[in-house]
Amino acid sequence: MSAFFSSVVDFRAVGLLGELRGTFAASHLAAEIMALPGLVTTNPNFIGSRGMAYYEPKTCGELLATVKNYAALIMKLQCTDKQCVTASKYILADHCLVKLLRIIDCLIGVPQITNDDLVPFIDGVKACAEIICSALMGRQVSGSVSSLQDLQLPAQAEHQVPRTFIEGDNHLLTLAAAQIDACPNTSVVGVMLGGAAAAAITAVAWRSELNLVKVSRYDDASCNSRHIWGRRIPSVHSPTAGLSIDRAITIIDDNCGTGDTLRQASHLILAQTGIKPKIRATELHWEKLLRTQVYGYAERVFTPETLDVLTPWCFRHHKVLNHLAGQRLADSQCADGQYADGKSAHTTAADWVNYSYSLLSVLHDTLPGSAWASELLAFLAHLMPQTVNVERPIDAFKDIAHQCPECLSRNR
């Protein structure tokens, strides 16, 4: 397990839903970004990177048109002596990422769709994830989003509306989890829809291939697929497999409560490739483990021994995320400076560091055979200094601009 994670963005500057937050004191966002309808959200406390445009339902055709417009702007924006545009590119890429994933989720349900139809969209997701990871980690961006301009939808999908799925992808939490027992240069398989963004971010962090599977035991289970979507993973059964027998595969879901979905995805990968994958989730339902193993509640829950990798993040329950997203949508309908319920959400990723640390501490002290908790607590302890309240404003966009490799090289 890695004992170190460092991002240019402070955990206090990331909302629990995953949006980046900045102040109004000095704008580090390009004027073109601020002018786009619904791209960002503003309130008296902060500017947020995920406005109405991130959540609103549209047809696949409308979503793809927006992706192409955003991609064109990403390629147009360039850092200058007066303006760093890295944070602006991050926001555009984040919006493109979720739109592409919704399109892919819809395309998988089209009977005539082939893997060749989906590969360019999956490559586009990875290109967006590259911009996101580079901005958060202060790295030079490699690759381009130019290929997004060439994406084409099959006629039967043009007017379909992907299911409305309230997104809670927190890329900073995902990047931190990806540092634990990293497996670079492998195949990363994301479980659609929830685990797709986490897999994309992890694949970029590990410099690995990205594949997707549509497996669910809960929402949208009727649309499950037996396919592994993306660039072909060599099978040990193939006569041309060569050295691929030793190829590692990791399956990632956004969260794990019972482990059933991950096991189902694992069986699918093993059957089609002959390779037993590692299974992991960005967030684990540590609360449920505490309720069953310590409080004695009768619930089905994963056991730490059944997962190949353990991560420290507690499950951000979908009811919490849905409430926060619904509150934001309601606020957007109110007059400037007003809130639908009289308050604004202020819970941040830093709060989740503290919450996860507290719960794992209780498990460590009360659950027999929980030696694994010590390493997870040590990992979180390294992040604790970023969770202490200070008087200075926290601004994710400023942090990204001040650590932009392009701007730093120009000013040397």
Whole-number pLDDT of residue 71: 98
| pLDDT (average), residues 232-250 | 67
CA distance 234 to 275: 9
- At residue 158, the pLDDT reads 95
pLDDT band at 337 (very low <50, low <70, confident <90, very high): very low
Quick check: 313 and 359 in contact, CB under 8 A? no
pLDDT confidence band for 244 (50 / 70 / 90): very low
Q: Between residues 339 and 212, which one has the greater pLDDT?
A: 212
In which domain, by residue range, is 348 found? Answer: 11-410
Whether residue 1 is contained in a domain is answered as no
If you average pLDDT over residues 266-270, what whole number do you get?
95
Phi, psi of 186 (to 5 degrees): -125, -165
Omega within 30 of 0 (cis) for the link into 77: no
Of the chain, the percentage scoring pLDDT greater than 90 comes to 71
**Can you tell me whether residue 31 is helix, strand or coil?**
helix
Neighbours of 324 (CB within 10 A): 19
* Residue 6 within a domain: no
* The pLDDT of residue 6: 87
| Strands of the sheet with 21-22, listed across from one edge | 21-22, 47-48, 41-42
Residue ranges of alpha helices (H) inside 182-341 are 196-205, 260-273, 286-290, 318-332
| Total number of domains constituting the chain | 1
What is the spatial distance between Cα 352 and Cα 387, in angstroms, rounded to a whole number?
9
pLDDT, the chain, mean: 88
Q: Is 5 part of any domain?
A: no
Is 346 domain-assigned? Answer: yes
Q: What is the pTM of this model?
A: 0.93
Is the pLDDT at 274 greater than 70? The verdict is yes
pLDDT in tens, 53-91: 998 899 999 999 999 999 999 999 999 988 999 999 999
